[in-house]
Amino acid sequence: MNIVIAPDSFKESMSAIGVAEQIALGFKAIYPDAQYTLTPVADGGEGTVDALVNATRGKRVQTTVTGPLGAPVIAEFGLTGDGQTAVIEMAAASGLMLLPPEQRQPLHTTSFGTGELLIAAARHGVSHIILGIGGSATNDGGAGLLQAIGVKLLDAAGHELPPGGGALSALARLDTRQLDPELQRCQITIACDVTNPLVGPQGASAIFGPQKGATPAMIAQLDANLSHYAHCLAQHTGITIADYPGSGAGGGITASLLTVLNAKLYSGIELIMEVVKLEAAIREADLVITGEGRLDSQSIQGKVPVGVAKLAKKYHKPVIGIAGCLSEDVEVVYDHGLDCVFSVILRPCSLQEAFDDTRQNLVITARNIARLYQLGQLAATA
C-alpha cells in the first residue's frame, strides 16, 4: 500500500514535516510494510520555507533584518536545491509572532524587514523569489518594503515618510530611480491564500487590522491611508490596485509588489503543491492523509487540507484529515474532497497542554485511524 502524507504545520506546536513524521509513525504500527511518501506542504504562511527547502533539498540562509517595530531580528530564507529560487516568509521579518499583544501597533509597524529579505535573496544570484505573506504584523501596504529596496516615499516637502501605515496620508509621490537593480532582475511570485482587496469593508484594515492591534478608529484611519496610498501607486505606475483581489493580503504588501515590482499573485497551496510535485505522488497513492492545526469552514478558503483533497479527488483517492481541533462547522470540508476528519485531542486539556502533547497525540490518533482503515479493508474483502 502506498500512503501519501501531506499536512500543513500545526501552528505553535509542530512543523509540517514533524506532523507528517508522527502520522507515519502511528500508521507504521499497523501497516509496517506500506510505502510512505511524506510531503509537507504550506499555503504561503508558516511552513512555506520548510516545505520548499525540504522538497528540493535546498538550504536555509540566516540574516539580520529590521523587525516590525524597528528592532533588529534574525530571520531566514530558503534557497532551493538548484540555487535558482529563494523562498521567503514575510512573517520571519515582519510577523505578528515577533510582537507580544501589548506591542502590536499597526499605525507604526513596517514591512521594511521583508524588503531587506528580498534584497538578501537577490544577492544570492537567484532569478526567482517566492514570497509567502501570511502572518504579518503590518498594515502599511508594503510601503516599508519599498523603502528597503530603494524606493523613496516623499511628502509634499520632499521629506521621506516615517515607518508605518499611519504615515501614508502624507505621501505625495514615489521616486523609484534607486530601486535595487539586482532585485529588478528577479521574478517575484506571491504565495497567498486570501482574496481580500486593499481597502473597504473586506480590505486589509477592516478584516486583518483587529488581530494586529487596530481599534475601530485606527481601522478607519488605516483604510483611508491605504486608499490614498493606492491612488499614489496608480499615479506612479498606471495600475489601479485598491479593489484588486488579494491586494489586501499581508497588510496590503501585495499592492506594492504587484504595482512597483510587477510580481505575480498565485494561490499559495496550488503553487507549493506544484513545486513539491505532490500530484505525481498522489497519482500513485492508495490513501492520502493531510491536516492542519484547525479544520473549520475557513479551511475551504485556500488552506492546505482542502487543496490536497481537491488534488487527490482528481484521481479518486480517499482522503483523511487530521487536525489539532475541529470546529462545529467543519463538515463543510466534506463537500470539498475530504472523506473523514479526526481531532488529535484525546482528553479535556488547556491549549498549552494540547501544544505540549501534540507529538504523542498525533501518533496515537494516526494509529487508531490506521486500525479503523484496516477494519474497513477487512470488511470490504469479507
Residues contacting residue 77 through CB under 8 Å, at least 6 positions apart: 49, 60, 61, 63, 86, 87, 88, 89, 92, 117, 120, 121
Answer yes or no: do 113 and 14 share one domain. Answer: no
What is the tally of structural domains in the chain? 2
Question: What does the pLDDT read at residue 382?
Answer: 75
Assign 368 to helix, strand or coil: helix
State the Cα–Cα distance between residues 173 and 312, nearest whole angstrom: 49
Q: Write the DSSP string, 231-287.
A: HHHHHHHS---TTSTTTTHHHHHHHHHHHHS--EEEEHHHHHHHHTTHHHHHHT-SE
User: Is residue 14 very low, low, confident or very high in pLDDT (cuts 50, 70, 90)?
Assistant: confident
Q: Where among 206, 240, 269 does a domain terminate?
A: 269
Answer yes or no: do 74 and 168 share one domain. Answer: yes
Answer yes or no: do 62 and 10 share one domain. Answer: no
User: Is residue 13 very low, low, confident or very high in pLDDT (cuts 50, 70, 90)?
Assistant: confident
Q: How large is the average pLDDT for residues 147-166?
A: 97
Answer yes or no: do 173 and 219 share one domain. Answer: yes
pLDDT in tens, 164-220: 999 999 999 999 999 999 999 999 999 988 889 999 999 999 999 999 999 999 999
Residues contacting residue 161 through CB under 8 Å, at least 6 positions apart: 143, 147, 153, 154, 155, 167, 168, 170, 171
Q: Pull the grid cell for residue 19.
A: 506532523
Answer yes or no: do 177 and 233 share one domain. Answer: yes
What is the CATH number for 176? 3.90.1510.10
Answer yes or no: do 144 and 75 share one domain. Answer: yes
Q: What percent of the chain has pLDDT over 70?
A: 100
Q: Is the pLDDT of residue 72 over 90?
A: yes
Q: How large is the average pLDDT for residues 2-10?
A: 94
Question: What does the pLDDT read at residue 254?
Answer: 96
Q: Where among 269, 300, 321 does a domain terminate?
A: 269
Is residue 153 within 8 A of residue 160, CB to CB? The reply is: yes
Q: Which residue has the cell 501519501?
A: 4
Q: Is the pLDDT of residue 54 over 90?
A: no
pLDDT in tens, 284-304: 999 999 999 888 887 877 789
For residue 291, the enclosing domain spans 2-41+277-381
Answer yes or no: do 95 and 222 share one domain. Answer: yes
User: Is residue 355 very low, low, confident or very high in pLDDT (cuts 50, 70, 90)?
Assistant: confident
pLDDT in tens, 218-257: 999 999 999 999 999 999 999 999 999 999 999 999 999 9
Residues contacting residue 135 through CB under 8 Å, at least 6 positions apart: 45, 46, 89, 90, 91, 95, 96, 97
Q: How large is the average pLDDT for residues 15-30?
A: 95
The pTM is what? 0.86
Answer yes or no: do 117 and 230 share one domain. Answer: yes
Answer yes or no: do 233 and 305 share one domain. Answer: no
State the Cα–Cα distance between residues 341 and 318, nearest whole angstrom: 12
**Residue 245 class from Cβ within 10 Å (0-12 exposed, 13-18 middle, 19+ buried)?**
middle
- Long-range CB pairs of 344-348 (<8 Å, 24+ gap) are none
Answer yes or no: do 94 and 125 share one domain. Answer: yes
Q: What are phi and psi of 164, to 5 degrees?
A: 105, 155
Q: Where among 269, 299, 331 does a domain terminate?
A: 269
User: Is residue 12 very low, low, confident or very high in pLDDT (cuts 50, 70, 90)?
Assistant: confident
What is the CATH number for 8? 3.40.50.10350
Answer yes or no: do 78 and 193 share one domain. Answer: yes
Q: Is the pLDDT of residue 275 over 90?
A: no
Question: What does the pLDDT read at residue 318?
Answer: 96
Spatial strand order of the sheet with 35-38 comes to: 35-38, 2-5, 287-295, 319-326, 340-343
**What mean pLDDT value characterizes the chain?**
93
Q: What are phi and psi of 158, to 5 degrees?
A: 85, 10
Question: What does the pLDDT read at residue 297?
Answer: 82
Question: What does the pLDDT read at residue 76?
Answer: 95
Answer yes or no: do 89 and 238 share one domain. Answer: yes
State the Cα–Cα distance between residues 344 and 289, nearest whole angstrom: 14
